[in-house]
Amino acid sequence: MPKNLIFKRRSEDEDIKASGMYLDFDEMGKKGVMSSADSSIAKWYGIYKSRQPGQHMARIVIPGGVVTSEQAKNIAAVSEKYGQGIINVTTRQALQFHWLKVPNLADVMRELFEYGNSTRHGCGDVTRNVTACPLAETCPAARINARKWARKTADVLGAQRDLDDLPRKFKINYSGCRADCAQPHINCVGLSGVVYKGQPGFKVVIGGGMGWKPFVAQPLFGFIPEASAVDVCRAVALLFREHGDRFNRAKSRLKFVVHRNGIDFCRDVVLQNLLSEGKSQEGFVVEDIDDEGTSYEERPLLQDTPKGTDGLFTVRVIIPKGELPFRKFYELAKLSEQYGDQRLYTSNRQNLEMHGVESRDVSNLKFAIHNLGFETDGSFSLRDIVTCVGTTYCPKAVTETRVLFDRIHRLVSRDTYRGILSSGIINITGCPNSCSPYRIADIGFRGMRIREEEGSVEGYEVLLGGSQTSFGEKLGEFKLCDCEEVVTLVLDAFMMVRRDDEFLTRCVQRVGIEYFRRAVYGEV
Amino acid sequence: MARFKYNKAAKPLESTVETGIGTSALDLKTIAKAIPCQEACPAKTNVPAYIEAIARGEDDKAYRINQEDNIFPGVLGRICTRVCEDACRHKWTNVEGPVQICHLKRYAADNIKEKQSAMPPWFGPTGKKIMVIGAGPAGLSAARDLSRMGHQVTVVEKAPAPGGMLVDGIPAFRLPRDIVSAEIALIEQGGVEIRTDVHVTQTMVDDYCNAYDAVLLAAGTTVTNSIAIPGAEDRQISGLDFMRGYNRGEVTAVRGNVVVVGGGFTAVDCARAARRVGEKDALVSIAYRRTEASMAADKNEFQAMAEEEIAIRTLLSPLRFELNDRGAGTLVLQRNLVADGTLGVKAKIVPLEGSEVRIPCDTLIVAIGQKRDESLLPFGVDSEEDGKTSKPGLFVSGDFKGGSADVISAVASGKNVARLMDEYLMGKRRLMRGVKYEVTDCDGETGRYRDHDIQFPLPMPMAPVAQRFENNAEVETGFTQLIAQNAAARCYLCHYKFEIDQDKCIHCNWCIEASPRDCIKKAARIFYDADGFPTKVFEAERNQDATYIYIDNDECIRCGKCLRVCPTEAIRMRKLEAGDCVKCDD
């Protein structure tokens, strides 16, 4: 059939989706290979191709970022059996396996399912893992239990088949208060707990996102009653489904819909969607309401061992590079049974947490965790560097981010910087996709290659002074071999002008990026 | 000394300007490489631009784009020799042959929806008067462009109607006359005066030179070549005379079996015309001393000749003509071979002594070329370099200048001489050839995708043989919209150029991953000529050896996937348009 030069408003991925979105992993396993079309659909099952040919990654969806110790042990067992014993914690509170082979994928999913673990909708153009602020239930600052709503949203939206084919991925998260620990402004939909006229509910922002083109989310509603949260998430998903770009996948995320059409248009569509499905809009307030929540600096999340409203403590496990062996993961699950609430919590700093620890057990638990080789204090510090997997596994990555992690980690661990450790965070991402959101960190690195006289070398674009509502400013582009020196110059310059306990980002905003540029480039 | 300032390899530049008009050697080299069909076209027609318009259903726009460089889109859409198609990138990147550029040109001309008007003038009236001798393709091209430059142009023509070889040489079943007259009418609308039935002589040329500011001799080649065939001295008709008679309706019948000697355009036309006016069941043959590959006819014409039962006999040279007692004639020919030639030199004919082939022949047409009427050239003209003669104000162009050639060459010749004449009259070059660059903001969305490249092109529909002989009907019936858009969609749209800004590129290789074929490469080194034009690219295998990520425009299919996937917005798509630009310092 001849093909005219028509404007095909559909990408090749959309063609593949239209040809059927189901895979038989057992049959595929017998053949032993996954075609490129199959690998597009495999994303809906949480399976990605790895950088290494024939290897795959599986992402376990963990709504709200909590697994029971039984589920954790199951994950450890599957990792040992099929994934070379490696488990990764992601910044969106999921867990990942690498090194999976096609013949094993069906068994991986089956064995995970035994304990209610699932990779379904781990990737693909669907509602992705719904995240929540880690301290959710017992955070003294929380207005509302974010985790409860995160899990409910995941359950409801995940079961709606008409949301299986969105233009692109769709990310929702819940924070307990306006301190926004779950980072609502860099997600498609962010809901933050607020109290309005004595009634608990959420402030809703939509259209944020990192990636190659970053956007800060815009306020959709100042207040919605908590009972409407899931309905609003669905109404936004429908807005996205109908208005997202299905031709250019690089511009199909909700953030582009909001940016292109304006937030007022989006709000009208969302309200219309609610109306047409007979959902209540009662109590909705468009304008911002007067409940600012806890300030960034004072939020309990930043404490090393925060105490909950139930009088029990949270103990952190800092996972370097977000990667740990199955045996240690298994041991941590056991520790949560012994000291905690029999659950492991994942955080958006790629760390694990144990909640519900009695005051008398805190030191014992920390001792046990130290024995496993992990630190417990210093999350949200310069040493708690978040890095994507980089070229170690990821086919998209440009740089080997873990090399930079090692160098920077060693650098900021020096005694010189003991006084400023808690002044900020460092994120390193291997490509513009920003899996480690480098734009919102105090110091952010984004991998690139830098052209030389002949050939090219690994390097990084370095940003300073980012937060989730104001992204970092560009310091410059530096070769990998220079990055340590650059960080040294930045931190030394920071220490010279730092006021009290000032965060690096606040300092950059106060003195300006030019000060740091001069410090680094040595120009007068 | 500033820290962290790295030495980097220079950014490759393929144009002198970002947007706007570039006229340097680098710009012209870039466009020549980027758009091979346009470069190959003698008249430099903006092929991809009009094909894109056809693909988008904008046939009027396509016709207009054609008109800019070529006064005869409808005519050349039928009879062009299609050097552009030989240069098409599909010739080396595909197995389905080139884009059917010529047929598409015709499709646009045949499907104009709105009444066309003359092309707008480039300059206001200059008060200069010009005489053009010959209303053939060269003369009319020159006249149209000179008129657009603001000069007052008169064209004189010997024949009763303008068109030259278009109406005298080419038969109507290949080129319907209403097509020719419609396009000539557009030229007249633009202010060109055409006087027919004017028999120009050498004295008149001299008089014109005195009375006009400039004179163009574009009288074509009207003197036919002949060969001595013993026994046929007074029986042979020249091909041109036969076609002229046929086209003017003076030849309505030919006697018996026909043999046409020759292998050029005229020979084929003569044979097909003879078939139409000849006796039923008579033999019509072409006898040519070289092989079919050397004949001017294209694939469609060979097919048409086969359907019309015209025998093509090759590697034969006429020896003599014989007549038997019953009045039936025979042409006796000798077999010959074509010697292995040297590249670029026409191979020699080697007769096979003693061999004889006899073809029944009652009418013998000899179509072995024409030459110009030397007597028209004023006395004392001794040089005609580039169309400018040694006599001030007298110019030559078309077949008259370079010997008989195809129509597109004549059009190009007329176009070029018009610019020379303008320069002569105005004392400076007012029209410059340049490249217009325009940065697009459509996300690289051209509408093309890989499937377009590999689909089968459909053939030109032809009238059934039975219908062809009624009313001299046109044989090739033209593309339907479906066929045309299908053919147009194959075009790579080479006027769009995807480029990577090397200072923004981070070597993520995502464009390479997304590319539909081996169109984006890692380059270790790029070599340039003196004008800064990249002449050679050393490819690199490994990331660390790649100095640049480089888009190979020869392989690019303009799907835009690379641009859309680029996370640093380093890739852009520029639209390139080569053509005449009015000189700014005018």
CA distance B407 to B82: 11
- Distance from chain centroid for Cα A359: 30
Residue A446, SS3 per DSSP:
strand
Is-same-fold flag (B129-222+372-429; B223-370)?
yes
Is-same-fold flag (A12-113; A386-521)?
no
Reference B239, options B119, B337, B358, B363; nearest CA is B363
**What is the predicted pLDDT for the residue at A167?**
96
- Distance from chain centroid for Cα B575: 23
Radius of gyration for the alpha carbons in chain B, expressed in angstroms and rounded: 27
Q: CB-CB: which of A395, A455, A520 is closest to B524? A: A455
CA distance A202 to A181: 14
Q: Which residues sit opposite B154 in a β-bridge? A: B131, B193
Look up residue A14 and give its amino acid: E
Q: Does B537 touch chain A (CB under 8 A)?
A: no
Q: Is the pLDDT of residue A8 over 80?
A: no
| Residues A246-256 pLDDT 10s | 989 999 999 99
User: Does the beta-carbon distance from A455 to B8 stay under 8 Å?
Assistant: no
CA distance A82 to A136: 33
Contact status, residue A96 vs residue A58, Cβ threshold 8 Å: yes
Over residues A270-282, mean pLDDT: 97
**What is the predicted pLDDT for the residue at B297?**
87
CA distance B146 to B153: 7
Q: Which residues sit opposite B528 in a β-bridge? A: B534
CA distance B353 to B340: 18
Q: Is the pLDDT of residue B378 over 70?
A: yes
Reference A347, options A147, A487, A486; nearest CA is A147
**B111 contacts: CB under 8 Å, gap ≥ 6:** B59, B481
- Kindly tell me the burial class for residue B322, based on how many C-beta atoms sit within 10 Å of its own C-beta (0-12, 13-18, 19 or more): middle
Cα distance from B506 to chain A (closest Cα, Å)? 5
Give the mean pLDDT of chain B: 92
A403, A404, A406, A408 alpha-carbon torsion, rounded to 10°: 170
Residue with tokens 């402004």: A185
| Residues A383-393 pLDDT 10s | 999 999 999 99
Residue with tokens 């859309």: B564
From chain A, the residues in CB contact with B507 under 8 A are: 398, 448-449, 451, 456
Over residues B119-142, mean pLDDT: 96
ipTM of the complex: 0.92
Q: Is the pLDDT of residue B300 over 90?
A: no
* pLDDT classification of A320: cutoffs 50, 70, 90: very high
Q: In chain A, whose CA is at the least distance from the CA of B485?
A: A4
CA-based end-to-end distance of chain A: 67
| Residues B195-213 pLDDT 10s | 999 999 999 999 999 999 9
**Where do the domains of chain A lie?**
12-113, 142-276, 312-371, 386-521
- Distance from chain centroid for Cα B342: 27
Q: Does A521 touch chain B (CB under 8 A)?
A: yes
Q: Is the pLDDT of residue A184 over 50?
A: yes
**What is the predicted pLDDT for the residue at A3?**
53
Range of lowest pLDDT (B12-21, B85-94, B449-458, B481-490): B449-458
User: Does the beta-carbon distance from A251 to B7 stay under 8 Å?
Assistant: no
Over residues B110-129, mean pLDDT: 93
**What is the predicted pLDDT for the residue at A462?**
98
- Distance from chain centroid for Cα A229: 21
- Pair of tokens at residue A197: 């006229």
Q: Taking the domain A142-276, which CATH number applies? A: 3.30.413.10
| Residues B214-261 pLDDT 10s | 999 999 999 999 889 999 888 889 999 999 999 999 999 999 999 999
Q: Which residues sit opposite B412 in a β-bridge? A: none
Output B384 or B357, whichever has higher pLDDT: B357
**What is the predicted pLDDT for the residue at B449?**
86
Look up residue B109 and give its amino acid: A
From chain B, the residues in CB contact with A478 under 8 A are: 4
**What is the predicted pLDDT for the residue at B586?**
44
* pLDDT classification of A293: cutoffs 50, 70, 90: confident
Give the mean pLDDT of chain A: 95
CA distance A377 to B87: 70
User: Does the beta-carbon distance from A450 to B8 stay under 8 Å?
Assistant: yes
**What is the predicted pLDDT for the residue at B584?**
44
Q: Is the pLDDT of residue A187 over 60?
A: yes
**Where do the domains of chain B lie?**
129-222+372-429, 223-370
Q: Is the pLDDT of residue B416 over 90?
A: yes
Look up residue A69 and give its amino acid: S
Cα distance from A395 to chain B (closest Cα, Å)? 9
Contact status, residue A182 vs residue A146, Cβ threshold 8 Å: yes
| CATH number of A12-113, picked from 3.90.480.20, 3.40.50.620, 3.40.50.300, 3.30.70.330 | 3.90.480.20
Q: Does B564 touch chain A (CB under 8 A)?
A: yes
* pLDDT classification of A11: cutoffs 50, 70, 90: confident
Q: Does A481 touch chain B (CB under 8 A)?
A: no
Over residues A111-136, mean pLDDT: 96
The CATH class, in words, for B223-370 is alpha beta
From chain A, the residues in CB contact with B443 under 8 A are: 248, 251
Q: CB-CB: which of B443, B458, B544 is closest to A456? A: B544
Q: Which residues sit opposite B238 in a β-bridge? A: B366
Helix (H) or strand (E) holding A313: strand A313-317
Q: How many CB atoms lie within 10 A of CB B71?
A: 26
Contact status, residue B381 vs residue B347, Cβ threshold 8 Å: no
- Pair of tokens at residue A287: 């304008």
Q: Which residues sit opposite B499 in a β-bridge? A: B572
Overall fold of domain B129-222+372-429: FAD/NAD(P)-binding domain (3.50.50)
Over residues B418-439, mean pLDDT: 94
From chain A, the residues in CB contact with B447 under 8 A are: 5-8
| Residues B15-64 pLDDT 10s | 999 999 999 999 999 999 999 999 999 999 999 999 999 999 999 999 99
CA diameter of chain B: 106
User: Does the beta-carbon distance from B447 to A2 stay under 8 Å?
Assistant: no
Helix (H) or strand (E) holding A315: strand A313-317
**What is the predicted pLDDT for the residue at A5?**
53
* pLDDT classification of A6: cutoffs 50, 70, 90: low
Output B519 or B342, whichever has higher pLDDT: B519
**What is the predicted pLDDT for the residue at B346?**
78
Helices (H) and strands (E) in chain B, counts: 22, 23
Q: Does B523 touch chain A (CB under 8 A)?
A: no
Task: Give how far Cα A207 sits from Cα of A63, A184, A268, A424, B419, Å.
Answer: 21, 10, 15, 26, 58
- The DSSP call for residue A275 is H
CA distance A111 to B310: 78
Contact status, residue B419 vs residue B431, Cβ threshold 8 Å: yes
* pLDDT classification of B583: cutoffs 50, 70, 90: low
* pLDDT classification of A77: cutoffs 50, 70, 90: very high
* pLDDT classification of A7: cutoffs 50, 70, 90: low
| CATH number of A312-371, picked from 3.30.70.3340, 3.40.50.300, 3.40.50.1000, 3.40.1370.10 | 3.30.70.3340
User: Does the beta-carbon distance from B507 to A449 stay under 8 Å?
Assistant: yes
- Distance from chain centroid for Cα B408: 4
Over residues B83-97, mean pLDDT: 92
CA distance A344 to A334: 10
Q: Is the pLDDT of residue A305 over 90?
A: yes
Radius of gyration for the alpha carbons in chain A, expressed in angstroms and rounded: 23
Reference B379, options B223, B221, B201, B134; nearest CA is B201
User: Does the beta-carbon distance from A4 to B482 stay under 8 Å?
Assistant: yes
Report residue B175: phi and psi, to 5°: -145, 95
Output A374 or A298, whichever has higher pLDDT: A374
* Sheet-wide strand order for B214-217: B193-195, B152-156, B129-133, B214-217, B394-396
| CATH number of A386-521, picked from 3.30.413.10, 3.90.650.10, 3.40.50.10140, 3.90.230.10 | 3.30.413.10
Contact status, residue B358 vs residue B332, Cβ threshold 8 Å: yes
Q: Is the pLDDT of residue B414 over 50?
A: yes
User: Does the beta-carbon distance from B543 to A212 stay under 8 Å?
Assistant: no
Reference A108, options A164, A73, A59; nearest CA is A59
Task: Give how far Cα A285 sits from Cα of A90, A194, A222, A270, A290, Å.
Answer: 34, 12, 5, 14, 12
Q: Which residues sit opposite A173 in a β-bridge? A: A131, A190
Q: Angle at CA A11, nearest 5°, toward A9 and A17?
A: 115
